[in-house]
A and B are shown apart, each in its own frame.
Chain A
């Protein structure tokens, strides 16, 4: 073999990986929701089953979505057509011009009966419809019926307070020796959402503005006391349906999608109820996911058709059945609905309609600082509750870090904190 053939061979070897891949003909639907493999599979096999076009469903980590979209916008190779994500995840895509206005599509879908409040959220503060509401959910509590006899006297499950929850867990521990209250504080759990949307609003009426202060200190002291009745495996729990089904946990808080398996498999064993209330009301975090079309999408017609399909009442009900996200359009829950899904739907309705409800939005406007924001909440929790540190010291340590994140991102306050001009301020 001569050196010339060798050189030609080397050049060929180097060139092969650089050859462009053929473009996909399907509509690429990238979603930060329904990411776990079972949920993604249900999306492909159940929810998208009756869709006439061809869809490639690609789940993506929330943090990676803006990175990938930006890479596509800058690199000029566009693959993503439809983006499905939470309100707070779609919002940072607006300033980077990653999504396009959908006013025409919204007009076509006017007969779907999407509530005006949700459509307004979908404008992301502009005059155009930037995303179409897709599905909604929230977090609530589930209890094994074995725990009910220990409920403190006079406590109403649907109007429970954090004090009563602590007494309840303590009573079970005293009688059975087991710590059966559980929180999803594992590496993939949603504990930060509990702190942001439930604990802080219930005790302080805010989150950022009231992060530090006497009310927050009192709250953490109470929560650390409540934690004495919590199963220590909670720092390993990611989906509370698992310990609920195994019986390790009798009372649990989590996102509906992470509780639904337990409710579906053993609907007769469990009851559902709203998260507890504190001195300032019953804080809760509604979750709204929306559908947007990527800027320079390779298949805008397919994208619009897919969004139209996903917001049909029948598809919305199929979504509720399959993955436990509830309809945003007018669709009556049928009488033959799975009893587990019905349990979840009841708890969500009771949470939203509670007289003392305090709605807390997912953090908005933090852009790429969302992860750091959650870390402040989890670090504070770790310092005070898991390590037994003094709330005053932990809050004094974390408050400046929180303020720096808000100042750097310039995020104005979101509900339940009062609106602010300029970056939200820790008081």
Chain B
């Protein structure tokens, strides 16, 4: 009896040790690093971070991209998942093609969009051949912040909508058809069935997808770096510069703590706003 009781713990031990050593310990060390300067407790790293000439831009840019990209990604993913429900033949193929961007690294995605949008890129070549522009038109410079933002949001949409889609599509499959059929019997229109029946039942999947997507969006880095470089600072690129260019590990840790705080905050908001009412729990 005793032996078999120990087995689950033994089996869990490697994973627990692994996470503890490689995740919790660095996390605590990072937090300790952020709050220390010259060997004493201090907010010095945070004031250095906030005093950086690009700090405000980094906050604004990060939130702009998240607030534009995440809702659009959710809408697109839900729309795609709903369409997928009506595909009978080749459903797997469609899903497979839609999730190709999942397999592409952030940096590669950024470089793909850079090739499209650079001065002598595909967009400009097309516009030039159509006679719309007389010569190379810049989209990604510090003089064109609006198109730069649009380009980064577009690249994020292309790259990461699939993450949301996969989770939502799985959730859609779990929604029993009976509810929608019952609503139809009572005369609900397709829109009413979607808003009143399907969406509330999708709530747990949407919650998971939003938490995952938003936390990852706070960590966006390589795509932005490829497209925006120095012109579009975000929190993660600031942390990278502090760590590698300035070798100011305390400030880099402060950025990490700030990103973690934002991620936890966003997660708590989603958990609260999108919680499933107790009455609906199975």
Q: Which residues on the B side are within 8 Å of A24 (C-beta)?
A: none
B230 A185 Cβ-Cβ under 8 A: yes
B140 proximal to A (CB < 8 A): yes
Q: Tell me which residues across on chain B come within 8 A of A107, comparing CB atoms.
A: none
B residues less than 8 Å from A63 (CB atoms):
244-245, 247
**A233/B119 in contact, CB under 8 A:** yes
- A232 close to B10 (CB less than 8 A): no
Contact between A235 and B245, CB atoms less than 8 A apart = no
Contact residue among A6, A233, A368 (Cβ-Cβ distance under 8 Å from B247) = A368
Query: Which B residues lie within 8 Å of A3 (CB)?
Result: 3, 6-7, 10
Distance in angstroms between the alpha carbons of A386 and B143 in the assembled complex: 9
Contacts of B225 in A (CB 8 A): 187
Q: Closest approach, in angstroms, between the C-beta of B247 and any C-beta of chain A?
A: 5
Size bin of chain A's contact surface: 20 to 34
B120 contacts the other chain (CB 8 A): yes
Q: Which of these, B11, B138, B246, contacts A232 with CB under 8 Å?
A: B138
Q: Name the interface size band of chain B.
A: 20 to 34
Check B246 against A186 for contact (C-beta < 8 Å): no
Given contacts A236-B140, A248-B119, contact A374 B10 (CB under 8 A): no
Residues B120 and A386 in contact, CB atoms below 8 Å apart = no
Q: Are A235 and B141 in contact (CB under 8 A)?
A: yes
Specify which chain B residues have a CB less than 8 angstroms from the CB of A145 in the assembled complex: none
What sequence of 0s and 1s flags, for each residue 368-382 of chain A, a beta carbon within 8 Å of any chain B beta carbon? 111110110001001
A110 near B: Cβ within 8 Å?
no
Residues on B with C-beta less than 8 A from A185 are 230
Q: Which residue of B lies closest to A373 (CB)?
A: B246
Check if A383 is an interface residue, CB within 8 A of chain B: yes
Interface residues of B in 132-146 (CB under 8 A from A): 135-136, 138, 140-143
Write out the residue numbers on chain A whose beta carbons fall within 8 Å of the beta carbon of B241: 375
Known: A10-B10, A187-B225, A232-B143. A246 touches B246 (CB 8 A): no
Q: Which of B53, B135, B246 contacts A371 (CB 8 A)?
A: B246
Compute how far the CA of A61 lies from the CA of B7 in the bound complex, rounded to whole angstroms.
47
Q: Are A372 and B246 in contact (CB-based, < 8 A)?
A: yes
Name A386's closest neighbour in chain B (CB-CB): B142
Complex CA gap A368/B248 in Å reads 9
Q: Taking chain A's interface residues, is the majority helix, strand, or loop, or is none over half, making it mixed?
A: helix
Q: Which residues of A contact B136 (CB under 8 A)?
A: 248
| B135: A residues at CB distance < 8 A | 178
Give Cα A187–Cα B238 distance, bound, in whole angstroms.
12
Is A383 a contact partner of B53 (Cβ separation < 8 A)? yes
User: Considering residues A3, A185, A382, A383, which has the most beta carbons from chain B within 10 angstroms of its beta carbon?
Assistant: A3
Shortest Cβ distance from A374 into B: residue: B245
CA distance A178 to B134 in the complex (A): 12
CA distance A185 to B230 in the complex (A): 8
B261 close to A (CB within 8 Å): no
Q: Which of A10, A246, A371, A379 contacts B14 (CB 8 A)?
A: A10
Chain B 96-122, CB within 8 Å of chain A: the 1/0 string?
000000000000000000000001100
A14 sits at the interface (CB 8 A): yes
The B-contacting residues of A in range 47-80, CB under 8 angstroms, are: 61, 63
Q: Does A13 reach chain B (CB closer than 8 Å)? A: yes
- Per-residue CB contact flags for chain B residues 32-73 toward chain A (1 = under 8 Å, else 0) read 000000000000000000000110000000000000000000
Q: Convert B122-138 into 0s and 1s, putting 1 for each residue whose CB lies closer than 8 angstroms to a CB of A.
A: 00000000000001101
Residues of B within 8 A of A116 (CB): none
With A13-B14, A368-B247, A371-B245 as known contacts, state yes or no: A232 contacts B142, CB within 8 Å.
Answer: yes
On chain A, the residues within 8 Å of B54 by CB distance are: 382
A232 proximity list for chain B (CB < 8 A) = 138, 141-143
Across the interface, do A248 and B120 meet the contact criterion of CB distance under 8 Å? yes
Closest to A247 in B: B120
Q: Please, how many angstroms separate the alpha-carbon atoms of A185 and B13 in the complex? A: 50
Residues of B within 8 A of A37 (CB): none
CA distance A187 to B244 in the complex (A): 12
Q: Which residue in chain A gives the minimum CB-CB distance to B143?
A: A232
Interface residue from A6, A186, A375 paired with B7 (Cβ < 8 Å)? A6
B138/A233 in contact, CB under 8 A: yes
Q: Does A153 contact B (CB under 8 A)?
A: no
**Chain A residues with CB under 8 A of B3:** 2-3
Q: Which 5 A-B pairs have the closest CB atoms?
A: A232-B141, A371-B246, A371-B245, A187-B229, A232-B143
12 additional A-B pairs beyond A232-B138, A235-B141, A375-B246, beta carbons within 8 Å, are A3-B7, A3-B10, A6-B10, A63-B244, A178-B135, A233-B119, A233-B138, A233-B140, A368-B247, A371-B246, A375-B241, A383-B53
Tell me the B residues contacting A by CB distance below 8 Å: 3, 6-7, 10-11, 13-14, 17, 53-54, 119-120, 135-136, 138, 140-143, 225, 229-231, 241, 244-248
